[in-house]
Structure 1
Amino acid sequence: MTMATPVHDWPEGLERVVLCIGAPKAATTFLYVMLRGDPRVCVSKTKEVHFWDVASGINSRLWQKRALKTLLKQCSILLVSPFRKSDLTWRDIKRSVLLLRLRWGGLKQASSYIDYLLSDYQQEKVVFEASPGYSICDAGTLAQMGRVHENTHLVLMVRDPVQRLWSDTRHRLRPGIKAGKVQREEVLQAFERDFSDPGSFGYRNSDYASIISRLEEAGLGGKLWCVFYENITDERERSVLKSALGFEPELTFSERVNVGQDITPSPELMDRAKQAFGHVYEYMYERYGSRVPSNWLA
């Protein structure tokens, strides 16, 4: 595939753009927290920008409404700022307007997306953004994503596909669980619906075979770095992350992030889930061999 000219004049000192296109929720937060304090990296103000997936029609209304809600809330706070102490500034409003614009304008708003990524740029070597939904974009959108900068790198951080889906299901239902409005049986039923439906978002996020195949179809195999989250502290996985970022990151594990709810599915239900992802396990073992963590379920 012929690489098109990048869609934006990036700062001269910027060496690469790194997009984490798929990761468990905990991994997304881990990467964001780890890189946010690194002076070599410009990290997006919003943890998950959701440009490419929303522009493709994936969960569009959800992320558009969230951007609008954030902007309206900030405007409301600023209007009463003379009477109430607040750290919010008009620069924050400008950033939120950019976020709203890029989520509503489709792929033609790629320049707004890049402006948003650079809104806090201070001569860093790397720009980083992580939105797990990017992994389920079609090959055409992925190809455009890979051309956003002349040196774009894509990180696909994976964990056991069944465990990832189970975590996704609990995370999605967490507000209802904490409020006592969603019971254990409802969580298990939602999990079963997800792994029984290859078209569900949860299933597609865990279908690494399909994700990697679409990336290769888009001509991005050489830009892809697959990192196994369970082994992130191992030297081999750290070296992969180093290759993606262009430097050795300092891994810190000072706090737990996105702690899951204490609900356990039955062994029978987990066995059916493993069968649903049998082709994914087979694909990952064939492609990555001994790099696949020993604690994967199949």
Structure 2
Amino acid sequence: MTGMSEEGPPPAAATASAAAEFRPIAELRGKTMLLCIGAMKAATSWLFAQLQATEGVAVSPLKEVHFFDARFPDGALMDADAFAMARLAFHMRQPGDAAANLRRRPAFRASLDRARMIYDPNAYFEHFAGLIRADTRVLADITPAYACIGAAGFRHMRDACATQGLTPRVLFILRDPVDRLWSHLRFLPQLRAATDPLLDWPELIRDPVTLRRSDYRQTLLDLEQAFGPEQITCLFYEQLFPHGYRRLCATLGVAPQSVDVETRYNRADLDAALPGPARQAFRTLLQPQYDFCAARFGAALPAEWRAQAQDGAAT
């Protein structure tokens, strides 16, 4: 258990329900809480590795904590709490003495913390408080599934941070919608072995759970119901390496020692080009996302997006 403080009332910005649910932890007050909400297949594994190597940032050893989406599970790809138990069981099965492994392995300890979150929400902030070192300014939870928790989920996230005196910074990385969707579908066989994206794509793009992850418009509108513009950072995948990451660090008040622009993480096992008919269908389906983002971001929209959108509008 991390040191907790019961002194004083919770910050006024927290709702009564959040204040009743979360005990304030003194060590967290004044820190920045970076909450990366995706998008899925938009270099969040790469971001995780870069943040781990950046001084002043404490990242959960669990690349995806899945705390808030477990509480707001509409649109979830999986049962987040069941996954947490499976992950803990994996560590328990590893060779050697389990207690010794627990002492040595941060991911094992983090998995135990995550299992506690199932029955005690305070375990979420206690987990991050336990990561703080002398130079820590930023705590980071990178869970792309948070993009789908809706406005109510984002308000709960905001209020939970307020109980700790944390400054929230929500990061949303947007990737060209067609490219992101195809990368997502190519990854699905690793979650559902029977899926064949090359054959199943017509059915998959009608799946509401899959489509929710492509709905940048709804995610941004939901975010804006909970967080102010100064609390939301949007970056483009196509501009992330390395300049976008350096801009993020500047907003967080930390300085990256180096940025790895070569390594790619969490690649899909299926390495296949998007079939022509699928590309046309994807463009038609996602044209509203291109239109929304063009209106929202204007000249900042990457050239790759503009070319894709124009091709889609012409078909």
Show the counterpart of 1:125: 137
- Per-residue deviation, 1:176: 7.0
Show the counterpart of 1:136: 148
Q: How many residues align?
A: 281
Q: Deviations over 1:1-33 (max 9, x none)?
A: x83167432416753111101133351111110
Show the counterpart of 1:15: 31
Say if 2:27 and 2:129, in contact at 8 Å, map to a contact too.
Answer: no
CA, structure 1 residues 173+244, in 2 after alignment: closer, same or farther (shift >3 Å)? farther
CA, structure 1 residues 65+208, in 2 after alignment: closer, same or farther (shift >3 Å)? same
Show the counterpart of 1:284: 293
CA, structure 1 residues 239+227, in 2 after alignment: closer, same or farther (shift >3 Å)? same
Say if 1:14 and 1:126, in contact at 8 Å, map to a contact too.
Answer: no
Q: 1:267 aligns with which of 252, 276, 283?
A: 276
- Per-residue deviation, 1:81: 2.2
Q: Deviations over 1:184-220 (max 9, x none)?
A: xx313433323234x22x2111211111011112244
- Between the aligned partners of 2:40 and 2:213, the Cα distance in structure 1 is 9
CA, structure 1 residues 258+130, in 2 after alignment: closer, same or farther (shift >3 Å)? same
Q: Report the RMSD for the aligned CA atoms in angstroms.
A: 2.9
Say if 2:62 and 2:111, in contact at 8 Å, map to a contact too.
Answer: no
The amino acid across from 2:132 in the alignment is Y
- Between the aligned partners of 1:42 and 1:126, the Cα distance in structure 2 is 6
Say if 1:215 and 1:221, in contact at 8 Å, map to a contact too.
Answer: no
Secondary structure in structure 2 of the residue aligned to 1:25: coil
- Per-residue deviation, 1:47: 0.6
Secondary structure in structure 2 of the residue aligned to 1:39: coil
- With normalisation by structure 2, the TM-score equals 0.78
Q: List 4+ stretches of structure 1 deviating above 6 A.
A: none
Secondary structure in structure 1 of the residue aligned to 2:115: helix
The amino acid across from 2:281 in the alignment is R
Q: Deviations over 1:12-65 (max 9, x none)?
A: 675311110113335111111001122211110111000001111243863322
Q: 1:233 aligns with which of 229, 241, 244?
A: 241
Secondary structure in structure 2 of the residue aligned to 1:127: strand
Show the counterpart of 1:89: 103
CA, structure 1 residues 69+172, in 2 after alignment: closer, same or farther (shift >3 Å)? same
Percent sequence identity over matched residues? 25
Segments of structure 1 that go 5 or more residues without pairing to the other structure are none
The amino acid across from 2:206 in the alignment is S
* Worse overlay, 217-226 or 280-289: 217-226
Segments of structure 2 that go 5 or more residues without pairing to the other structure are 1-11, 310-315
